[in-house]
Amino acid sequence: MTAQPWESRQPARARVLETATRLFYTEGIHSVGIDRIIAEAGVAKATFYRHFPSKDDLVRAYVVEQSSWQRAAVAGMPTASPRAKLEAIFTLMCDFGAGPDYRGCAFVNAAAEYPDPAHPVRQAIADHRRWLRDLYRELLTGEGHPDAERTADMLMLLRDGLSVGLDLDDPVRVRAAVEETLAAVLGRGSAMSEQGTTAGRR
């Protein structure tokens, strides 16, 4: 009875990481135990601990994987002008944040559960944020923005704000405020377009 034709399924490590990602994101990290993860992933405990020597390693892998997803998503976006790309990134975040499963930014939430800045999980979060800020800065530079450094920091502020607000406040109002702020920060070239999933207005 044991060990079905599991070539059909994903390999154990991927199943664990997928399950952990879902549970960590929707329920929080400290609230989800190993037993629950291996049960829902259909994986034996020994197998889990072979792939992830400790729970913290799993958490770190979760954060790193989230970062990889986002990098891939950005890399796979249609290459329009830098400005259009920036606006598309923020539109995408607003769309995602308006969905029913949205639970805030995975990195911010993880950081809230790992206070120590020297912890590997925090390091992974810091890596992601460095990448993100560099992305903003390069897009701004590519657009010929006169103060890409400062403006990239402002976009980080906006990004963090919308991550939190979409979770805790009314997403429709947050979205409108994001569009307005983005226009104010980037200068009113072409306002963030109207193709959002939720009808724009207010």
Q: Which does 104 bind (CB under 5 to 8 A by kind): DNA, a second copy, none?
A: a second copy
Q: Which of residues 45-74 bind a second copy (CB under 8 A)?
A: none
Min dist. Cβ of residue 44 to DNA (A): 3
In angstroms, the CA 180 to CA 188 distance is 9
Using the minimum distance from each CB to a second copy, give the nearer residue, 45 or 127: 127
- In the complex, the residues that contact a second copy under the rule CB under 8 A are 26-28, 30-31, 103-104, 108-109, 111-115, 125-126, 129, 133, 149-150, 153-154, 156-165, 167-169, 173-174, 176-178, 180-181, 184-185, 202
- In the complex, the residues that contact DNA under the rule CB under 7 A are 1-3, 5-7, 11-13, 32-36, 42-47, 49-51, 53-56
